[in-house]
Amino acid sequence: MRSVLKWVGGKSTLMGSINRILPEGNRLIEPFTGSCAVTMNTSYDSYIVADINQDLIGMYRMVRDAPDTLVAIVRDFFSHANSADEYYRLRDIFNQRTSDKPTQAALFLYLNRHGYRGLCRYSKKKGTFNVPYGHYKAPLFPEKEIYHLSEKLQKATLLCASFQETLLLAQPGDVVYCDPPYVEKGRFTDYHSSGFNMSHLRELVGILESMLEKGVSVVASSHNEKAIRDIYARFSQTELTAYRSIGVKGGKGKRADELLLSRIAFPLALPFREA
């Protein structure tokens, strides 16, 4: 199932490979949920779906709790607002943050689908969403995906929290899937105004390494670069190839060499079955 959002590094196309590595467990914890592709395409008993981006989590709360309301507002935006003038007008309204929660969530989804390559980027100085108009003829209205995700999120606790706060909640028998902002040629993507850097990644990996002692299995995704492989040296490493449409001019997309990193606490567990 496709994700509700377009997302840099979204994992929908890699779910076959990810599901072959994810073990069975009581609960899946995603501290960097992004497009929510992994939650959408797995079948754990419960989930913690977390991200530091309040706009993202706010939208997912509306998907879970009021999908009919969200669909109605988003449909109205999609039906009349596919122009540069309307996009920038609605972006200004979104950045004023004076709308009610359903409208703010719908605006975030509209901007994601109509903005350039589905980027999620904020000004470091003002914290405002600053992605330009994408000039797409017919952006996908993800109604079916909204209702599918709404059903999945009934089993989820949604948190706007840092990865440090989220990982403190892990309990024996849980599975953690981490997809932090990817790095390419030493530069991390900016999906939140607070940023993410190599120091944060080292801290994250240190926390993940300690999970095994708690009986928590860990699977992580990252860009395939030597610096990343070195940081995850204590993890099993599987190389994958994905194709990214974000940042390229049409066609098949840019090849991206990725890594799946894993430390599994349940050596006797059966392979996880795809949802």
Answer yes or no: is 226 a known binding residue: no
Answer yes or no: is 7 a known binding residue: yes
Pairing state between β 27-30 and 46-51: parallel
Residues 190 and 9: beta-carbon distance below 8 Å: no
Answer yes or no: is 257 a known binding residue: no
Enter the DSSP assignment of 173.
Answer: T
User: Exposed/middle/buried for 234, CB within 10 Å: 0-12, 13-18, 19+?
Assistant: exposed
Q: Give 217's strand partners.
A: 175
Rounded CA separation 53/8 (Å):
14
Answer yes or no: is 6 a known binding residue: no
Residue 107: which residues within 8 A CB-CB, separation 6 or more?
77, 90, 93, 94, 99
Find how far residue 38's CA is from the centre of its chain.
Answer: 8
Q: Which two tokens stand for residue 197?
A: 């850097």
Tell me the binding residues for S-adenosyl-L-methionine. 7, 11, 51, 179
Tell me the binding residues. 7, 11, 51, 179
